Amino acid sequence: MSLESEIKKRRTFAIISHPDAGKTTLTEKFLLYGGAINLAGSVKGKKTAKHAVSDWMEIEKERGISVTSSVLQFNYEGYCINILDTPGHEDFSEDTYRTLMAADSAVMVIDASKGVEKQTIKLFKVCVMRHIPIFTFINKMDREANDPFELLDEIESVLGIATCPINWPIGCGKEFKGVYDRKEKNVSLFKAAMNGQKEVDTEIVDASDEAVLKDRIGDAFYDKLQEDIELLDGASAEFDQEMVSAGDLTPVFFGSALTNFGVQTFLEHFLSMTTSPLPRKSDQGVIDPFTEDFSAFVFKIQANMNKAHRDRIAFMRICSGKFEAGMEANHVQGGKKIRLSQPQQMMAEERHIVDEAYAGDIIGVFDPGIFSIGDTICKSNKKFAFEGIPTFAPEHFARVRQIDTMKRKQFIKGINQIAQEGAIQIFQEFNTGMEEIIVGVVGVLQFEVLEYRLKNEYGVDIRLEPLP
Ligand code: G4P
């Protein structure tokens, strides 16, 4: 396959949502279609003590939240899909923001009974800032839900983006009858696929077939649907691919990730409406993804992802060209030529070594401690640097004191590594004799992560004193 067609078939997106809206469940269903897993639920189920593919760190397992962002790749219908999973917990928003910098579009999952929630707003703002396409999946229609018109109004007024429903729900909760496809003018009748199967065969009824439709959904829902369609056709924005691409209009889909209803339709529409890898701005102008020369930027660094390996991985988003294992490239900020060794891709808890990757892909490379977040790596000798990743001002501060002063070396090493990953910021340098420093974080949960990681990865106990 040519370089161009390899890049063209790539779709790299992030899923954003408020915790519990159903991001993990939806991701899992996507993987099911991609054949990456055989049965949904093999990935996650808090109650059965199985964990999300993204939950790498021990602390995540203990608390049942995603702390780090991970990347999943799978193929579906000729597309090569990279999903950037973003941590849902609000304390980790900084990591999430950085992850969004690596995506070309975003899927926003909204809980139909909750509407637009706090975390969604923050993440959404970052997407808007980047003008990337945003797709909305209104989830949990199999439960009591808010009025769909009100949900659309809320998205428009709170997030400031026009909406265009692609399908429309008929009822909700126990009375959820299905969805009406506005383009095809037919109704898919709701049928739950439980136990993690793919979508079960749903009956599709032509909306003009009044007798059959009334028989399936009842007279009252039939009448309501006619009313809704009229209202929608009169009031809502028309689908406009250009506006979608510019991030000014969000296509909206209704469904239920848990019962796998509406997920496949969503995935297919989404893949056709979203974009292949986008050009990126650099200090030497815009870099075209289809140029031969490989380039990438580091958006995340993580140490000790796997205790058995004790290593540091720099995650980079490939922005142009083709990557080949072991290739030499310029590390622009470091001013050196480097060999990119042990390139890896992630799938569930397994990593595998990749031989080649293309613009749009995310790879993790072994980092001997030279990379920082935002760094550019490029093959061409005409060096350039990609636009920086925004940093966020820390909002919480604490004095960190080491309990066992014999472990000073490990303490310094641990603190510095965690700071380089961007999880904390150090405000007061170590001074001799005093084993304490001041650190700042964006969210308070990061203090806990710091404490936990220092203990588990570096064997250092600390005492944290919050500062005003
Ligand atoms: P998150 O990643 O956005 O935090 O959400 P997650 O997918 O973990 O979903 C949160 C809860 O909502 C889970 O239930 C999940 O099963 C449920 N859920 C997701 N999608 C739907 C849906 O379409 N309909 C209904 N009714 N529920 C849905 P849980 O009991 O908290 O956890 P679990 O034991 O099922 O994992």
Per-residue pLDDT of the chain (468 residues; tens, 9 = 90+): 899 999 999 999 999 888 889 988 898 888 888 765 544 444 443 333 333 444 444 544 454 444 344 677 888 999 999 888 776 555 555 677 788 889 999 999 999 999 998 878 878 888 888 889 999 999 999 999 999 999 999 999 999 999 999 999 999 999 999 999 999 999 999 988 766 566 567 899 999 999 999 999 999 999 999 999 999 998 878 899 999 999 999 999 999 999 999 998 899 999 999 999 999 999 999 999 999 999 999 988 877 655 555 567 788 899 999 998 888 999 999 899 988 876 666 544 455 677 889 999 988 887 877 888 889 999 988 889 998 776 677 888 999 988 887 888 888 888 888 887 777 888 876 555 556 788 988 777 788 888 888 888 888 999 989 887
Cβ proximity of 45 and 319 under 8 Å: no
What residue owns the CA closest to ligand 1's atom 4?
Answer: 20
Contact residues of ligand 1, CB 6 A cut-off? 17, 19-25, 44-47, 88, 139-140, 142-143, 256-258
Q: How far is the CA of 161 from the centre of ligand 1 (A)?
A: 26
Tell me the whole-structure pTM to 2 decimals. 0.82
Which ligand 1 atom sits closest to the C-alpha of 17? 3
Which ligand 1 atom sits closest to the C-alpha of 261? 23
pLDDT of residue 186: 94
Task: Using CA atoms of 151, 153, 159, 163 in order, give the dihedral in degrees to the nearest 10.
Answer: 90
Which ligand 1 atom sits closest to the C-alpha of 88? 4
Neighbours of 164 (CB within 10 A): 19
Which ligand 1 atom sits closest to the C-alpha of 109? 3
Alpha-carbon distances, residue 26 vs 178, 262, 284, 404 (angstroms): 18, 10, 39, 45
What residue owns the CA closest to ligand 1's atom 36?
Answer: 45
Q: How far is the CA of 400 from the centre of ligand 1 (A)?
A: 37
Q: How far is the CA of 59 from the centre of ligand 1 (A)?
A: 20
Strand runs labelled E in 280-402: 280-282, 285-287, 295-303, 312-320, 322-324, 328-331, 336-339, 344-347, 350-353, 356-358, 362-366, 376-378, 396-402
Give the H/E segment covering residue 110.
Answer: strand 105-111
Q: How far is the CA of 21 from the centre of ligand 1 (A)?
A: 7
The first and second tokens of residue 403, run together, are: 């309990």
Q: How far is the CA of 366 from the centre of ligand 1 (A)?
A: 35
Q: How far is the CA of 191 from the centre of ligand 1 (A)?
A: 18
Q: How far is the CA of 139 from the centre of ligand 1 (A)?
A: 10
Angle between the N-to-C axes of helices 118-130 and 93-101, in degrees from 0 to 180, rounded to the nearest 10 = 30
Mutate to test the pocket of ligand 1, among 16, 20, 51 (most ligand atoms within 8 A of CB): 20
Q: Is 399 helix (H, G, I), strand (E, B) or coil?
A: strand
Q: What distance in Å separates the CA atoms of residue 306 and residue 4, rounded to the nearest whole number?
A: 35
Which ligand 1 atom sits closest to the C-alpha of 26? 7
What residue owns the CA closest to ligand 1's atom 16?
Answer: 258
Q: How far is the CA of 83 from the centre of ligand 1 (A)?
A: 19
What residue owns the CA closest to ligand 1's atom 9?
Answer: 22
pLDDT of residue 350: 53
Alpha-carbon distances, residue 207 vs 52, 122, 182, 236, 358 (angstroms): 39, 39, 10, 20, 43
Q: How far is the CA of 25 from the centre of ligand 1 (A)?
A: 6
Mutate to test the pocket of ligand 1, among 139, 176, 195, 258 (most ligand atoms within 8 A of CB): 258
Which ligand 1 atom sits closest to the C-alpha of 45? 36
Which ligand 1 atom sits closest to the C-alpha of 18? 3
Cβ proximity of 32 and 380 under 8 Å: no
Q: How far is the CA of 140 from the centre of ligand 1 (A)?
A: 9
What residue owns the CA closest to ligand 1's atom 24?
Answer: 140
What's phi and psi for 79, nearest 5 deg? -95, 150
Q: How far is the CA of 309 from the centre of ligand 1 (A)?
A: 32
pLDDT of residue 157: 94
Nearest alpha carbon to residue 163 among 98, 223, 115, 118: 115
Neighbours of 465 (CB within 10 A): 11
